[in-house]
A and B are shown apart, each in its own frame.
Chain A
Amino acid sequence: EDQVTQSPEALRLQEGESSSLNCSYTVSGLRGLFWYRQDPGKGPEFLFTLYSAGEEKEKERLKATLTKKESFLHITAPKPEDSATYLCAVQSSSGSARQLTFGSGTQLTVLP
């Protein structure tokens, strides 16, 4: 059974204070690992897809990296508008199923 564990559950940062969110996963063959941002009362917003260990992707202040066991979402010099819940999900390459298995998320608060 695919499993995704995110840590920490909640993180409070001062504006400009860089940090990283962790996503540990176990999956029977990784088709892809996905990061989403979710604001209160809204659907998840797609950020990144990572397919293989060593891959990195960047978007503004966010950088996602992937190893064989975990992924990190690095936030550089965050701003208050980066406050949201960040979700990690995996998709298995075994069988024909295409569903995503989600972690419980990290709730990020960036204080001005």
Chain B
Amino acid sequence: SAVISQKPSRDICQRGTSLTIQCQVDSQVTMMFWYRQQPGQSLTLIATANQGSEATYESGFVIDKFPISRPNLTFSTLTVSNMSPEDSSIYLCSVEFGEGTQYFGPGTRLLVL
């Protein structure tokens, strides 16, 4: 498995602003994923971020709104741009270890006013 940390753990932001969320892993991993969990709902994949290539976004998510960086094998960032109250969610990063198993970070709780 892996130890995964996220910063910030929570934030309150004003609409129209942007927030960058960091995900740090204690070992090198090829595949990292970003998920969103809206209040009372399950996890929805935003994008897959592999080091050395552009992130792959799921239907309904676009790079202009959720730009992702993956500068090395232990780190990634997700930016939530031009935020609105509908962006209030928990944002989670995960990494894949072993045969398909993903391990999750503690999440970033975002509230947009």
Closest A residue to B9 using CB positions: A41
Q: Are A43 and B104 in contact, with the CB atoms below 8 A? A: yes
Please give the residue numbers on chain A whose beta carbons come within 8 Å of chain B beta carbons, in ascending order.
Answer: 31-32, 34, 36, 41-46, 49, 51, 87, 89, 91, 97-100, 102-105
| B37 shortest CB reach to chain A, Å | 9
Q: Are A32 and B106 in contact, with the CB atoms below 8 A? A: no
Select the stretch in B13-21, B41-49, B74-82 that faces chain A: B41-49
B residues in contact with A42, CB < 8 Å: 106-107
> Mask for B43-67, Cβ within 8 A of A = 1, else 0?
1110010000000001000000000
Q: Given A99-B33, A104-B41 in contact, is the A51-B99 Cβ separation under 8 Å?
A: yes
Q: Are B109 and A87 in contact, with the CB atoms below 8 A? A: no
Q: Given contacts A32-B100, A43-B4, list 5 more A-B pairs with CB under 8 A.
A: A34-B101, A97-B48, A98-B48, A100-B43, A100-B45
Q: Given A43-B105, A46-B1 in contact, is the A102-B43 Cβ separation under 8 Å?
A: yes
Complex: how many Å from CA A104 to CA B103? 18
| A100 shortest CB reach to chain B, Å | 6
Interface CB pairs A-B, < 8 A, 26: A31-B99, A36-B104, A41-B107, A42-B106, A42-B107, A43-B4, A43-B106, A43-B107, A46-B1, A46-B101, A46-B102, A46-B103, A46-B104, A49-B98, A49-B100, A49-B101, A87-B43, A98-B31, A98-B33, A98-B48, A99-B48, A99-B58, A100-B33, A102-B43, A104-B41, A105-B42
